């Protein structure tokens, strides 16, 4: 009787252990919660749209390169007036750095929401820091250098990292006078902005990290 009870208890323990391992073993058809962002190490984004400032609208073009969809550089160019509205400054060129830390932190910890478009939108939230060159009315281009600090959020049209996106990039720009502590006179010294673009993102393998590695034979 004791041997029979021992064998039944051992069998029960094995069944419970096997079920537990099955529960924690990920299925082979588990969905891609990176949504294509690890299919390559480099991503490029090219967009066009408009920038709303404190004194009108300007047309905008935007180019971005990102490593693992997390950190990268951007260049944006704006020129107005657009649709006949006044714009000051008339031209703006911005180049800087972008950091989007949520994707890797979320993906490595398996903390996805489960709705692909919402995951992609949350992961796109980023900080932007750049140098600004402006052309106020009646002055040469680059006569008012400054600093830009902003936030970016992008909304995917599809369900994959590669494809069309709606970009929202906003923040504040300080001109040279404001950075020097002088009184703010107009939008050339300090201004809020919001750039809205329709952009296309493409993920591709550039092998940035392993550029010097030798391919296995």
The model's pLDDT over 92-108, given as tens digits with 9 standing for 90+, comes to 999 999 999 999 999 99
Virtual CA dihedral for 180, 185, 187, 189, nearest 10 degrees? -10
Sign of the CA dihedral 105, 111, 113, 115?
A: positive
Q: How far apart are the first and last CA of the chain?
A: 61
Segment (H or E) for 158? none
Question: For 36-54, how does the pLDDT look when each residue is reduced to its tens digit (9 = 90+)?
Answer: 998 999 999 999 999 998 7
> Domains of the chain, with CATH numbers?
33-204 (2.40.160.20)
Question: For 120-159, how does the pLDDT look when each residue is reduced to its tens digit (9 = 90+)?
Answer: 999 999 999 999 998 887 777 777 789 999 999 999 999 9
How many residues would you count in the chain? 217
pTM (two decimals): 0.78
Find out whether 119 and 107 touch, Cβ atoms under 8 Å.
no
Which residues contact residue 58 at a Cβ distance below 8 angstroms, ignoring those fewer than 6 apart?
50, 51, 78, 79, 80, 81, 82, 87, 90, 91, 92
């Amino acid at each position: 009787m004791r041997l029979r009870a021992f064998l039944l208890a051992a069998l029960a323990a094995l069944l419970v252990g096997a079920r537990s391992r099955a529960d924690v073993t990920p299925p082979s058809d588990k969905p891609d919660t990176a949504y294509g962002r690890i299919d390559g190490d480099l991503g490029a984004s090219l967009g066009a749209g408009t920038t709303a400032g404190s004194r009108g609208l300007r047309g905008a073009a935007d180019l971005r390169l990102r490593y693992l969809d997390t950190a990268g550089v951007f260049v944006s160019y704006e020129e107005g007036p657009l649709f006949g509205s006044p714009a000051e400054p008339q031209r703006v060129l911005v180049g800087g750095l972008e950091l989007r830390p949520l994707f890797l932190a979320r993906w490595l910890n398996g903390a996805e929401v489960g709705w692909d478009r919402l995951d992609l939108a949350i992961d796109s939230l980023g900080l932007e820091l750049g140098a600004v060159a402006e052309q106020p009315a009646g002055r040469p281009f680059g006569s008012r250098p400054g600093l830009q600090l902003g936030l970016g959020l992008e909304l995917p049209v599809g369900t994959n990292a590669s494809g069309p996106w709606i970009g929202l990039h906003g923040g504040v720009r300080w001109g040279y006078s404001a950075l020097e502590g002088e009184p703010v006179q107009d939008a050339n010294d300090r201004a809020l902005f919001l750039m809205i673009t329709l952009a296309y993102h493409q993920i591709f393998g550039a092998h940035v990290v392993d550029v010097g590695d030798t391919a296995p034979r």
